[in-house]
Structure formats: C-alpha cells, structure tokens
Amino acid sequence: MTTSAETLLDRVSVPGGRPIPDAATGEIIGYAARGTVADLDAAVARARAAQPAWAALSAGERGAALHAAAAAVEARAEELAALVSREQGKPLNGPGARLEVGACQGWLHANADLDVPTEVLVDDADNHSELLYKPVGVVGAIGPWNWPQMICVWQIAPALKMGNAVVVKPSEYTPLSVQALVCVINEVLPADVLQVVSGGREVGAAMSAHAGFGKLMFTGSTRTGQAIVRASADHLTRLTLELGGNDAGIVLPGTDLGKHVDNLFWGAFINTGQTCAALKRLYVHESQYEDAVQILAAKAAGTPMGVGLVEENLLGPLQNPMQFAVVSRLVDDARERGARIVTGGEPAPELGANFYRATIVADATDGMPVVDEEQFGPVLPIVRYADVEDAIASANRLDAGLGASVWSDDAAAAREVALRLEAGTVWINKHGGIHPSVPFGGVKGSGYGLEFGVEGLKSVGVPQVITSR
C-alpha cells in the first residue's frame, strides 16, 4: 500500500529511465522503465504460473476483486486524472481526464457483475449439449496513447473476470499513467495476475510473436494491427483488434441543427479529436450546409483550449509532435486544394507544446486527404451533398468501418440510413457514446472482435462444448 506522502508518480517513475514530457508544456514529469524483451519473457512466465490459482477462484470471487479494484481507483481518482492529463494532454474537465478515470471505475464494476452463462444447445432423449467458456490463459494487452488508462481497463477487466492473467504493454508515449493505474489495481489482486512491461516497439513486436499468450488485444493503427496478425500467425493466437477509424456522420435534410450542435461538436472534438471512434467527416445536405458550418465554427472558436490542469479548459494539445505534424499537413493540404478554413487552421504556440486550434474545414470534398485520411486531431471537414444516396455512398466508400452516425429529427428515416452504413456501431443523434454492456468493435479495415458486455467476456475465453447421453 502507498503511504499518504507517497505519490503514484513516485512509485512508477524510475531514476535513469526514459524521460516522459508533459504533453502541454514539454516539462519532464517522470521517467519510464526501459523494459526489454527479457522483461517481457519473465512477466509472461510469472503470469502463466499465477493464472491457474486465479482461474480456480469462483466468478463471484473474481468479481469481488474487480469491485475492490474499482474502489481503489476511486480513492486515487484525482491523482490518476492529474497524471493522465499531464502525460496525455487531455483537460481534467469535460470529456477529459476525470471522465477517463471514472470510466475505469465503471468498467471494473460492470465486468465484476457480468458472467457468461452456460448455454444448453440441445436437450433431448439422445443428446444433451452445453456451450461454456474457459479462460485462454494469459492475455497480452497492447494499449494506445489517446485514452491510455480507460482502454487499458477495457482490456484487463474482462480478461481478469474470465480467469486470465494479463500482461500490459502501454504506449511508449503514455506509460506512466498506465503503470500508476495498474499499481492501484494491484493493491487488491494476487501477485503476478496483472503486470506491466513498459518498453518500445521491440517489446510490442515480441508480444505479437510470443507463444505464451493465448490472446492478444490491441487498440491502435490499422498498419500495426496488420503486423500483429502476421506476427501471431505461427501460434494461431486469438486476437481482438480495434483499429483506426474515419467515422462518417450524415445530417439528413430538415434536421434542427441547433438542437444537436453540442453532440455534433463533441462527437468530433472529444479528446481534441484524438479518439478512434470520433466523428471525422460530416456530410450535410446542401439546404443546411452553410448553417451547419457556421454553427460548428462558432462552437469550435468558443471552446476553451489550454493546459489540461487549468479547470476551465476543455480542449488540450495534440499528444505528441508526430500527431501535430499529421494534423498540420492535412489542414495545409486542404487549404492548398481550395477548401475553406472557417476557424482555426493554425498552431497555437502561445498555449504550449503541440497545440493546434480547433478547426472547421468547409467546402471539403471526397478525395481530399483531410477527408480520406484519419486526422486524429481537432479538425472536422464538412462535405456538402445533394442526395442522401450520394451521402451513404460517400460514407461507405473508405475501408474504415469503426463507427458512423446519422442526425435527424425523423427517427424512422435515421434508422433506415443507419442500417445501410458499413460500421460496427452506428449512433443516431450522437456519436461515440459507449456503454460497458453494449458490444463494440469494427468492420473492414477497423479490425475485428468485440469488446464490452457478455460478448466481450466471450472474446477472452475459449469455447468448449460438453455433450452427454
């Protein structure tokens, strides 16, 4: 247990480790362990040794441990939120760092109470067959830098509930906040059931090809997901891949834009646009196009941006210089191609490191990189359409298929369009909302496998059929 004077950062920062900067100021906030492939091998060996005893507990006992873990996270919530705000850049408030830590608590509690019931498939005079799920053994969880704590819990909570041990590899950009979270959770878990190996790409590559994992879970880019598929093929390791998105939204004619402006804006700009399932291209009917552009531009210009620990700020920086360069390139290219930058469209260096102003790009068209590529930043291109059929075709034409949304005051019309969109989740009159009991996953280039709810538990289990008579 920690002492009252000992901070979580004290516990996870390693003297001589790799320096980790504050995303907003560039100040060094701590030092991450330089994990190696040998460290990974040792962690997997310990996990394999600890897993059988954990699996031997009842589902209720493992659930109680997850409830206790959620309570431990709640007790250190403000400290965890401040650390993820500094390391990742997201503000404390709005859909920010405090929301992220709250989601960690919510997902731990929700998975604690979930179970996969044994399903009777056939029960007659000749055959009684049941389908059940057993642990896979050790789950490898490879996390991203955009929601480092929350997505870590999305991976570890169901894996632990199903009786698996877990080895986590956080992003090299945000290792400290994940190590701090795991440190808190481990206050209530048996030794070695949950471990972190902080390292670079070589550790991630070794995880992908490691024979010791029964399951790998990855959230990140499509390119890296494809590499994991190739590297894991020799061992036929089970995979859940939540990959890149380029989510489309379609505003149907006659929609009351003022009623939906907040949901539209935060659907796109949550976490300063650094969310896989954020709204990344918006198709608006020509009859309302300019109204939508101006309403969203006003919202973007009026939303406070700055250092995350300042309470009034709601938008933060890009997490790293690499992503800042991507956003700058896409906006500059759109300007050169004749798109209209209605607000934003430039860096904000006076705010700190890697800040880019919230940007609305009007007169964007399919084929522009700002539309066709995932911006993963505070940029929303708005595309004009004349016919709903054209908007549906545009939404479906890219390989991405994580999420999509339809905006309309006509529920029947919205559902009809939603059913035709090629995405794992389609929201109506909102975008990006998730629930721990509602399955979530992508199609096409956005990956495969489901997370959350009973389907998420099944994904970290191995099905077995028992047949008798």
Residues identified as active-site: 242, 276
- Measured from the Cβ of residue 405, the count of other Cβ atoms closer than 10 Å reads 30
Largest CA distance in the chain: 77
What span, in angstroms and rounded, lies between the C-alpha atoms of 108 and 314? Answer: 26
Q: Taking the mean position of all CA atoms in its chain, how far away is CA 206?
A: 22
- CA 465 from centre of chain: 33
Secondary structure element (H or E) that encloses residue 467, with its range: strand 461-468
Question: Positive or negative CA dihedral for 399, 403, 405, 411?
Answer: positive
In the block, residue with structure tokens 């009159």: 429
Distance (Å) of CA 433 to CA 54, 275, 440 = 33, 12, 10
- Spatial separation of the C-alpha atoms in residues 182 and 195, rounded to whole Å: 7
Q: Write out the two tokens for 113.
A: 């109470």
SS3 390: helix
Contacts of 359 (CB under 8 A, 6+ apart): 300, 331, 341, 343, 344, 345, 378, 379, 380
With b for 16 or more beta-carbon neighbours within 10 A and e for fewer, the 145-176 pattern comes to bbbbbbbbbbbbbbbbbbbbbbbbbbbbbbbb
Taking each helix axis from N to C terminus, what angle separates 97-112 and 59-75, rounded to the nearest 10 degrees? 160
Question: Is residue 153 a contact partner of residue 104, using CB atoms and an 8 Å limit?
Answer: yes
64 class by beta-carbon count within 10 Å (0-12 exposed, 13-18 middle, 19+ buried):
middle
Six-digit token pair at 84?
């993820």
With vertex at residue 138, the alpha carbon angle to CA 133 and CA 141, rounded to the nearest 5 degrees, is: 105
Structure tokens at 306: 């700055």
